[in-house]
Structure 1
Amino acid sequence: MLTIYGNKTFNVVKVVMAAEEIGLDYEYKMIDFTTGEMKSPEYLKIHPFGKVPAIEHNGTAIVESNNICRYLANIGGKKLYSDDPLAAAKIDEMIDFIGYHAGHTITTYFYQEIVKKAFHKAEPNKDSIAKAKETLDGQLPFIDEKLGSTEFICGDNITIADCVAFGMVMVHEYTSLDISEYENICRWYDMMKQRPSYAAMMEHIPGGYDFG
């Protein structure tokens, strides 16, 4: 039995998209931020820091979104991943680039323009947004260039790197993040939105990142 615990965050989108693309059977349970459910004693037994996503598989809890995506790929017969050490390393390379660089920078938009508004009733810090844009101007061209020669981020087949990246890039639909100058990223993003995994994910996360 596989259970995914989530809410309206990019890290949850990664995991649900991966589960759908792999074709895994799972139960989705929404953790209610407004009631503090993520800090309940029951949920803290699943995720020690009270965050989402988390999964339970056959009674064992697993956390950290990129780690969860790898785990799902592994239990799904390496679908969206690889048995070949070099191919797996290239997938991990892009996951880490997104997680530590471009995706990390995108989280500034998510926090400043979504989280602060929804949960702190505060306005975004314009200096933080400007700095994030400047940083992304040096990071997103790398992804755009890769997508200029391949259909997906790691080649002509979808991998968990695409699920990880999609969750982050999706932030642009709900914030001032502008990706319009990146033709290949836009082509890839629109293609990913046409996949059945996107529609299935949005059923669990209606409204996407809109907490309004």
Structure 2
Amino acid sequence: MDKIIFHHAPMSRSNIVHWMLEELGVPYELDAMSLERGDHKKPAYLAINAMGKVPAITHQGITITEAAAICAYLADEFPAAKLSVPIGDPRRGVYLKWLFFGPSCLEQAIIDRIHNRPLAPPQASSYGDHDTVMETLAQAVAKGPYLVGGQFTAADVVIGSGVQWGTMMKAVPERPEFASYMERLRARPAAQRSFAKNQALYEQLHPKAAG
């Protein structure tokens, strides 16, 4: 099996993929970067991702970018972890919906709320409005325990990461549905390992900030 090279900056969107890799339990090589130092804008990394964004992975000679796409790829590539819904299973459509809902709706609604951006015209908005996004997601996680019923999937990694970040930024409302969902996700050993490793890595890369 070709080793995964994970191009990662802690405390960024690439935490999503770090959690996903911990859930998979497969070996990976860490290419750690500091956004504060601008490592993601240096020629070595721009040759990997011309967008100068993290995360990215290199696997079997190809590079994949965009957190949700990476999670979908890894879930399919390593089916033993059961983090995907296979083709032919009627639940796959729901699974894919939530994978794409993360970056196209939830993340955009959170960013607009954080920065107090005015809503785009309805016909131009990627997500409609903030309240509808939150109500739609709250109803889904209330059915639980996960987005695809009883199976934890890569969609929960993507959406759960978004809810966690949005809650921290006060851009996701405090609702019992979200609190219960996050409690279930935080109880996962892989989520706990990922959080601890990212904290330690950030402090290693930024010793002054840690002090």
- In the alignment, the residues of structure 2 paired with residue 57 and residue 204 of structure 1 have an alpha-carbon distance, to the nearest angstrom, of 22
CA spacing shift, 1:38–1:107, aligned 2, 3 Å? same
How do 1:47-196 and structure 2 match up within 5 A? 47-77=49-79, 79-85=82-88, 86-108=90-112, 112=114, 125=115, 127-128=116-117, 135-180=129-174, 182-196=175-189
CA spacing shift, 1:7–1:80, aligned 2, 3 Å? same
Once structures 1 and 2 are overlaid, which stretch shifts more, 151-160 or 26-35? 26-35
Q: Secondary structure at the match of 1:29?
A: strand
Q: Give a deviation string over 1:58-79, Cα, whole Å, max 9, x none.
A: 4432111111101111121262
Structure with more relative contact order (C-alpha pairs < 8 Å, separation 6 or more): 1
Q: Provide the TM-score with structure 2 as the length reference.
A: 0.80
CA spacing shift, 1:25–1:107, aligned 2, 3 Å? farther
Q: Give a deviation string over 1:7-43, Cα, whole Å, max 9, x none.
A: 2455312211222212222122221122221122211
Once structures 1 and 2 are overlaid, which stretch shifts more, 33-42 or 78-87? 78-87
Q: CA contact under 8 A between 1:10 and 1:168: conserved in structure 2?
A: no
Per the alignment, residue 17 of structure 2 pairs with 15
Percent of paired sites with the same residue? 22
**Following TM superposition, by how much is the alpha carbon of 1:188 offset from its aligned partner in structure 2, in angstroms?**
0.8
Per the alignment, residue 4 of structure 2 pairs with 2
The aligned amino acid for 1:193 is R
Q: Secondary structure at the match of 1:84?
A: coil
- In the alignment, the residues of structure 1 paired with residue 61 and residue 33 of structure 2 have an alpha-carbon distance, to the nearest angstrom, of 18
Gaps of at least 5 residues in structure 2 are 121-127
Q: Give a deviation string over 1:146-204, Cα, whole Å, max 9, x none.
A: 22222001211101110001121111353222432x21221011111111111221133
Aligned equivalent of 2:38, options 36, 53, 56: 36
